[in-house]
């Protein structure tokens, strides 16, 4: 599987005054679309900055295409694309000027692809960046990413500002992009329904630590939820099957293993249920 590994994050630690990215490890393989989730401040952006070589680590190592970042060739670096939720270009530039700038930066820049996506996204090429809505800026970021032969996309909240129809369109484009062997995507988002449609793996970070690193299929078939338990009923729960619990008023809600003999009414946990319990729930 090593030849199919696009990204390896191993024991990565980054310490700040009030936050620590703590011993983070995970892999991304060819044709993976990894949904990267967690509450604000959990460490998503710090992790993506670490992968992008924008911050120095206190410990650990990161490899892309089985190489450390400093050992990547210029061509390999161009095969990595980072899409942030804010566009990092001067607002006064026109989209034609954006094309002219990037074709002098990227050896593999394809202006036909760039203008194809501008047209597909209904963005007029003679507009200036400052004239674009937040949603259009998000689409422009993606058009740029698709236009320099990227194989590995890191997308930080790319759906921000997009309406449901536009989000669905972007999901279809990302799924199509990832059908080519050797490509992969890691995408952070708060919109769990989008990740349900898009991702095959879920990575949850909580307080700087990885809490979930699992396939979406397993997560969707592993847990049940029981709601409105009394304290007495909760105390009867076999702690070996209890994953997380929440107290809502005077009642308890629990996330449990699907294979259990509990006599209480249960429902199959959704992906969002599992993520919310992992973030807000407690353990014994």
Q: pLDDT, tens digit, for every residue of 107-134?
A: 889 999 999 999 988 999 989 999 998 8
Write the secondary structure of 111-144 as one string of H (helix), E (strand) and C (coil). Answer: HHHHHHHHHHCCCCCCCEHHHCCHHHHHHHHHHH
Helix (H) or strand (E) holding 268: strand 267-268
Q: Is residue 34 a contact partner of residue 203, using CB atoms and an 8 Å limit?
A: yes
pLDDT digits (tens, 9 = 90+) for 212-238: 999 999 988 899 999 999 999 999 898
Torsion angle defined by CA atoms of residues 165, 166, 169 and 170, in that order, rounded to the nearest 10 degrees:
-140
Positive or negative, the Cα torsion across 136, 137, 143, 146?
negative
Residue 85 has pLDDT above 70, yes or no: no
Nearby residues of 159 by Cβ (< 8 Å), 6 or more positions away: 138, 167, 170, 189, 191, 194
The tens digit of pLDDT for each residue in 12-58 reads: 999 999 999 999 999 999 999 999 999 888 999 899 999 999 999 99
pLDDT > 80? residue 2: no
- Using DSSP's 3-state secondary structure scheme, residue 101 falls into helix
Q: Model-level pTM?
A: 0.88
């Amino acid at each position: 599987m090593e030849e199919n590994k696009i990204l390896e994050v191993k024991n990565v630690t980054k310490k700040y005054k009030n936050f620590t990215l703590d011993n983070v490890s995970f892999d991304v393989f060819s044709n993976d679309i990894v949904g990267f989730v967690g509450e604000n401040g959990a460490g998503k952006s710090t992790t993506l900055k670490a992968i992008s070589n924008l911050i120095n680590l206190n410990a650990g190592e990161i490899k892309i295409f089985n190489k450390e970042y400093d050992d990547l060739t210029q061509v390999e670096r161009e095969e990595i694309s980072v899409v942030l939720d804010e566009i990092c270009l001067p607002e006064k530039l026109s989209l034609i000027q954006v094309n002219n700038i990037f074709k002098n930066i990227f050896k593999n820049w394809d202006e036909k692809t760039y203008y194809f996506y501008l047209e597909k996204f209904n963005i007029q090429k003679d507009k200036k960046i400052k004239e674009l809505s937040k949603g259009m800026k998000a689409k422009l970021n993606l058009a740029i990413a698709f236009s320099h032969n990227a194989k590995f996309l890191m997308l930080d909240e790319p759906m921000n500002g997009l309406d449901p129809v536009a989000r669905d369109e972007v999901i279809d484009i990302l799924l199509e992009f990832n059908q080519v062997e050797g490509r992969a995507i890691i995408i952070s988002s708060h919109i769990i329904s989008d990740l349900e449609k898009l991702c095959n793996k879920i990575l949850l970070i909580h307080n700087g630590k990885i809490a979930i690193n699992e396939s979406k299929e397993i997560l969707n078939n592993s847990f049940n939820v029981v709601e409105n338990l009394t304290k007495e009923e909760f105390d009867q729960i076999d702690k070996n099957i209890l994953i997380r619990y929440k107290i809502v008023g005077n009642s308890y809600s629990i996330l449990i293993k699907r294979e259990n003999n509990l006599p209480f009414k249960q429902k199959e946990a959704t992906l969002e249920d599992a993520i919310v319990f992992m973030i807000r729930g407690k353990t014994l």
